[in-house]
Structure 1
Amino acid sequence: MNMLARIVCCLLIHGVFCVGYTFLNNFAADWYISTYGGLTSRGVNIRLTSKFLYEFFLVFNAVLALIPVLRVKLILWAIWVGLILLWMLPHHPLRALLYGIGQGIFTLTAILLSTGLDGWYKRKVVGAKASKLASGADHA
């Protein structure tokens, strides 16, 4: 897969998972409000933090889609999830779960899916070239 096609595929995959996380985030917020009252009814208002983490999630996924090396992606992903959990725990366990684990799982799935798609395409191309070479060798 050429570099431009790989970048476009990775951006699309990460974009789909960002949209999926947005639906999960909205569902979880609506569920929490209907079950326990407003998000600030417990005396804690970290709306700007939540907004920052969501916007950083979008930018971080775009950056990860541009990185071709799986090991670098996984190291950056682990650091990011660890920092979110370190920041949120123990004072905000539900937000740590939603932002740390939720965003982390969606991003990890996008990373693994885009890497798997790239690997599948490489095997397909190598297999086609090997088959072509083998069929050409029989005729010579």
Structure 2
Amino acid sequence: MTDGEPESRGRPGLQAALRWLSIVAAIAGIVGTVVTVAQWIESRPNADPPAAVAPSATGAAATTGIATNDDATIKVGLCVRDAGGVDTPQLKVTPCGPGALLVLARIEEDFSQESDAVVACQAQAPGYSDYHFSTVPQAAGTQVVYCLKEQ
């Protein structure tokens, strides 16, 4: 060996293989940790309120998901829009105009059937075009339905 060359210890091929094996083991450990965390998150009890039936004026029912803060602050005379979708409608307060829904009535009752909401909106909000069950939890046996009219 000359003075400028480093002394080689062991086999270079074995060192490279051990280096790659260490990298693969580290990646496997990271993947395992991610999978464990994902399983833990899925196994946690659901803190969201249970899904409720949210019927529409057409008679089609959709399930609602997470309650929105806007649901608790919606009042008669405000305009809203559906920021969710068919499966998870979420009313958000919005400026009145095309595409917005005007809140004609807010009714608190025990709606045992979807048709009860239709009858209530017909009586208290003539000309309504749709309705929405609030996703905000109420007192036992009481539900809130908003009677809406498309702008």
**TM-score with structure 1 setting the length:** 0.28
- Tell which has more relative contact order, 1 or 2 (C-alpha 8 A, sep 6+): 1
Structure 1 or 2: more strand by fraction: 2
Structure 1 or 2: more helix by fraction: 1
Computing the radius of gyration from Cα coordinates, the structure with the larger value is 2
